[in-house]
Every structure is written in structure tokens, then in C-alpha cells.
């Protein structure tokens, strides 16, 4: 499609089954990513959410297959859903002119879509990486493995540009799914926060206190390594360090109880009061402790950086695409115990100079790389480059 060479804003169809107006969609990433597209890249029209009955049917099928075969049906990536997504999307796109169609975590949404408009696929992983890594992608029916791999392959091949949040994910798209390396790019996500805390406030208020305050933010206690975080709390106390662990977003199993364990089951980012409470947790804590067992791009790490909060986590999945060792946090191996996490925390916490440097560098990594402004500016350049290539191809075919 020919694009005016002036600064005219391009028209973007933002295709997603999620609700792009909901700050909770995909941990807020869909909402904030869409805002960045609108701010830097062009005029965005939402082609979503897609609340279709086939999704409810898929959930029913999954319950039946679990009951009968002890296997999961990955309905969100099934042909059943993908074909309906394509039908709904084409109806909503009809009669409108767009320069780009952008989808987030939307391989199923575009795999059966028939369009001449260039497609941009934004993802944080591929199916081959997620299979048997995340619980919802484990113990799958054979048909789910085939269909999910197929929708992933089709979407990657169809897309004119594939943007991944980590080298881990991008390399898989190239090596496993045969993506053209020229159209694959790595752009880290930003922090899903409404208002960036003032740098002065972050650096002034962040001080080591008599109590080492650990923050665990997750919706899944087990997958995010909650038991290891709890072990770290016990070990710190055994080492003579006063510590407390605040869990936000989930409720630990009943056996995890301690007078210095505080639980906040849920905070809704759509509610201003609750959102500000979460921000206060970031400001008042000394470390974000998340010994995750499986992650692609933990958005909470970007958010921690905005508050100058160092991260203690695991070197797994796409974590290294967010955490720069020794700058905005530290990554321990999967085999590390709660004792190892406690020893690392104690070493940094008791070194006032090193801890202060880590606060500053954590904020710097956020300011330089892990924010949606940086993402939007980079993606704008990628869009321009891609559309220029598409235009050149169109001219070549017209000759």
C-alpha cells in the first residue's frame, strides 16, 4: 500500500480478542501498548474485544477432555476459535482503509484472516517455547499441539513484521518457525503504569531500613516461585536480618503462614485507589522478589524499574530480556533454593553503597529501555521501514 512520504499519521487497525481498554488485559500490556501506538505510530482503531460463543464452547470441550482423557484442549488457539476470529475481524475491517493491522499475542486472530493489509505480529513467546513450560500449555491433546503449532506458523509467515520482547522468543521464531530474520525484531516492553513516578521521589524515598521489605507480585503463587520466596524470608530471619514479605495478587496455600508474611489478594489497576496502593508497595519495598519457575516477559520487572526497585529473580525464559545482571537486578539459576536467594539479598542489602547504586541503575534501565515511550519510538521506525519495503514490493509487481 502506497504511503504518503509526509508526516501524515498512518491508520492502524489494532486487532485483539482482548479488551484494549482494560488495564488488566494481558497484565495491562494490551492497554499500554495500544496507548503507545496511538501516541507515536498512528491513529488506532480497536478491532476488539471479541467475546464470542465459540470461546465458551472451547472451555466446555476442555473440561470434557480433562475429565475423559486427562488432557487439555487449547481452545484459545484452536481452529474453531481462529476461524471465528477471522470472520468477526473481516466484518469489522470491511469498508475501512488501514495502512497496518497490528495484533498482540494474536497468532490465532490473524492465522485465517484474509487481507492485503500488512500484518504486524507482537508476541513475547512462541508455542514451542511455551509447551510444557507453562501449565496451560502442558499435557495437551495431540490435536491442540497440531492446531496451535499451525496457527503460530501461519501467523509468523503471514506477518510482514514480527516484534518480540526478547531474543529468546525472536530466536525461536526464526529457528523453529522459519521466520525471515529480516522481518523479526526485538523491542522490550515498557512499564504498565499510569503515571511515571518522579525520579527525585524514587531516589529520595528509596532507603534501606531496619526491615528488609520484600515484595512478591503475582497471580500464580506456584509458577512464580512463592514457596521459594517464603523460604528466603525464613532464611533471612535465621541470618539475623529483620525481613517481611508482602504477597500481592494471589493467596498462598494455607501452610504458608508467618507473622511477617502479609497478603493482599488482589489490586485492580482499573481502580485509581487500588492502583495507587500498588504504587506505594513499589515505593516502600526494598526488593521485588520473584523466583519464577516460568516467564516470558514479566511486566512487573519493568514496573519495578520505574520505582527504582531492584529485582531478584530466576534466569529462565525471556527474563534476561528484561533484567540486566547487576544493573536492575540479579538472576539465579532454576536450581537455586530459598537459602541462595536470601544470601544474595543479604549481601546486597547490607552493602549500603552497592544497594544505592542498584537503585539508581534500576531506574536508569527503566528510563533508557523499559518504558513505552522508548517502545513506541522504536516501533514507529520499524513500521516506516516495513511500509517502505512493502511499497517497493508493490512497485516491483506493478511493472
In whole angstroms, how far apart are CA 176 and each of 94, 248, 371?
A: 34, 36, 29
Lowest mean per-residue pLDDT among 109-118, 264-273, 360-369: 264-273
Interatomic CA distance for residues 29 and 77, integer angstroms:
20
Pairing of strands 119-123, 161-164: parallel
Quick one: which of 321, 331, 329, 280 has its CA closest to 298? 321
Average pLDDT over residues 46-52: 93
Amino acid 7: pLDDT: 62
Q: Looking at the predicted structure, is the pLDDT value of residue 1 above 50?
A: no
Q: Looking at the predicted structure, is the pLDDT value of residue 88 above 50?
A: yes
Give per-residue pLDDT as tens, 109-144: 999 999 999 999 999 999 999 999 999 999 999 999
Amino acid 333: pLDDT: 98
Amino acid 390: pLDDT: 79
Average pLDDT over residues 39-60: 95
Average pLDDT over residues 5-18: 85
Average pLDDT over residues 61-85: 96
Q: Looking at the predicted structure, is the pLDDT value of residue 2 above 60?
A: no
Amino acid 23: pLDDT: 87
Average pLDDT over residues 32-43: 97
**Sheet-wide strand order for 243-248:** 261-264, 243-248, 212-217, 287-290, 311-314, 329-332
**Sheet-wide strand order for 10-15:** 42-47, 10-15, 100-104, 119-123, 161-164, 184-186
Give per-residue pLDDT as tens, 270-318: 899 999 999 999 999 999 999 999 999 999 999 999 999 999 999 999 9
Quick one: which of 273, 251, 246, 278 has its CA closest to 261? 246
Give per-residue pLDDT as tens, 224-249: 999 999 999 999 999 999 999 999 99
Give per-residue pLDDT as tens, 319-345: 999 999 999 999 999 999 999 999 999
Q: Of all residues in the chain, what percent carry a pLDDT higher than 70?
A: 95
DSSP secondary structure, 170-220, as one string: HHHHHHTT---GGGEEE-------SSPPPHHHHHHH----SSEEEEEE-S-
- At 279 the three-state DSSP class reads helix
Quick one: pLDDT band at residue 207, thresholds 50, 70, 90? low
Long-range contacts of 125-129, Cβ-Cβ distance < 8 Å, separation of 24 or more: 125/168, 125/169, 125/172, 125/296, 125/317, 125/318, 126/152, 126/156, 126/169, 126/172, 126/173, 126/176, 126/177, 127/77, 127/152, 128/152, 128/172, 128/176, 128/177, 129/168, 129/169, 129/172, 129/296, 129/317
Amino acid 6: pLDDT: 45
Q: Looking at the predicted structure, is the pLDDT value of residue 348 above 60?
A: yes
Q: Of all residues in the chain, what percent carry a pLDDT higher than 90?
A: 88
| Higher-scoring residue by pLDDT: 107, 394 | 107
Q: Looking at the predicted structure, is the pLDDT value of residue 399 above 90?
A: no
Average pLDDT over residues 364-373: 98
Q: Looking at the predicted structure, is the pLDDT value of residue 381 above 90?
A: yes
Report the C-alpha dihedral over residues 60, 66, 67, 70, rounded to 10 degrees: 170
Interatomic CA distance for residues 395 and 136, integer angstroms:
45
Mean pLDDT across the chain: 94
- At 313 the three-state DSSP class reads strand
Quick one: pLDDT band at residue 210, thresholds 50, 70, 90? confident
Phi and psi at 50, nearest 5°, equal -125, 90
| Higher-scoring residue by pLDDT: 394, 215 | 215
Interatomic CA distance for residues 111 and 169, integer angstroms:
19
Amino acid 332: pLDDT: 98
Q: Looking at the predicted structure, is the pLDDT value of residue 90 above 60?
A: yes
Amino acid 398: pLDDT: 52
Amino acid 8: pLDDT: 77
Quote the pTM value: 0.93
Amino acid 27: pLDDT: 87
Amino acid 205: pLDDT: 64
Amino acid 103: pLDDT: 98
Residue 14 exposed, middle or buried by CB count within 10 Å (0-12, 13-18, 19+): buried
Amino acid 389: pLDDT: 83
Average pLDDT over residues 147-160: 98
Interatomic CA distance for residues 156 and 56, integer angstroms:
27
- Is-contact 27 192, C-beta < 8 A? yes
Quick one: pLDDT band at residue 269, thresholds 50, 70, 90? confident
Amino acid at each position: 500500500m502506497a504511503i504518503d512520504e509526509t508526516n501524515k499519521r498512518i491508520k492502524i487497525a489494532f486487532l485483539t480478542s482482548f479488551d484494549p481498554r482494560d488495564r488488566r488485559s494481558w497484565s495491562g500490556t494490551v492497554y499500554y501498548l495500544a496507548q503507545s501506538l496511538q501516541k507515536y505510530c498512528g491513529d488506532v482503531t480497536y478491532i476488539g474485544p471479541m467475546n464470542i460463543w465459540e470461546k465458551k464452547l472451547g472451555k466446555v470441550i476442555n473440561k470434557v477432555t480433562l475429565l475423559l482423557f486427562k488432557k487439555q484442549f487449547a481452545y484459545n488457539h484452536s481452529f474453531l476459535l481462529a476461524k471465528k476470529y477471522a470472520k468477526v475481524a473481516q466484518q469489522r475491517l470491511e469498508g475501512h482503509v488501514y495502512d497496518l493491522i497490528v495484533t498482540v499475542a494474536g497468532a490465532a486472530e490473524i492465522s485465517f484472516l484474509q487481507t492485503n493489509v500488512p500484518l504486524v505480529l507482537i508476541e513475547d513467546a512462541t508455542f514451542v517455547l511455551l509447551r510444557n513450560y507453562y501449565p496451560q500449555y502442558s499435557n495437551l491433546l495431540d490435536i491442540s499441539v497440531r492446531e496451535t503449532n499451525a496457527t503460530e506458523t501461519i501467523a509468523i509467515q503471514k506477518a510482514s513484521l514480527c516484534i518480540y520482547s526478547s531474543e529468546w522468543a525472536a530466536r525461536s521464531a526464526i529457528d523453529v518457525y522459519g521466520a525471515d530474520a529480516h522481518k523479526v525484531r526485538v523491542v522490550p516492553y515498557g512499564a504498565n503504569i499510569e503515571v511515571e513516578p518522579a525520579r527525585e521521589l524514587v531516589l529520595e524515598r528509596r532507603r534501606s531500613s531496619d526491615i528488609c521489605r520484600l515484595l512478591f507480585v503475582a497471580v500464580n503463587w506456584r509458577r512464580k516461585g512463592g514457596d521459594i520466596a517464603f523460604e528466603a524470608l525464613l532464611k533471612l530471619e535465621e541470618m539475623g536480618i529483620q525481613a517481611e514479605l508482602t504477597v500481592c495478587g494471589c493467596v498462598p496455600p494455607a501452610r504458608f503462614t508467618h507473622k511477617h508474611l502479609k497478603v493482599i489478594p488482589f489490586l485492580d489497576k482499573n481502580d485509581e485507589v487500588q492502583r495507587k496502593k500498588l504504587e506505594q508497595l513499589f515505593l516502600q519495598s526494598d526488593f521485588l522478589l520473584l523466583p519464577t519457575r516460568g516467564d516470558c516477559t514479566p511486566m512487573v520487572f519493568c514496573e519495578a524499574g520505574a520505582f527504582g526497585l531492584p529485582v531478584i529473580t530466576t534466569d529462565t525464559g525471556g527474563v534476561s530480556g528484561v533484567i540486566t545482571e547487576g544493573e536492575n537486578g540479579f538472576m539465579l539459576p532454576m536450581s537455586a533454593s530459598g537459602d541462595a536467594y536470601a544470601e544474595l539479598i543479604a549481601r546486597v542489602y547490607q552493602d549500603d553503597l552497592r544497594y544505592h547504586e542498584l537503585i539508581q541503575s534500576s531506574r536508569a534501565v527503566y528510563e533508557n529501555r523499559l518504558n513505552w515511550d522508548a517502545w513506541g519510538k522504536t516501533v514507529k521506525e520499524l513500521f516506516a521501514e516495513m511500509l517502505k519495503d512493502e511499497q517497493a514490493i508493490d512497485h516491483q509487481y506493478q511493472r
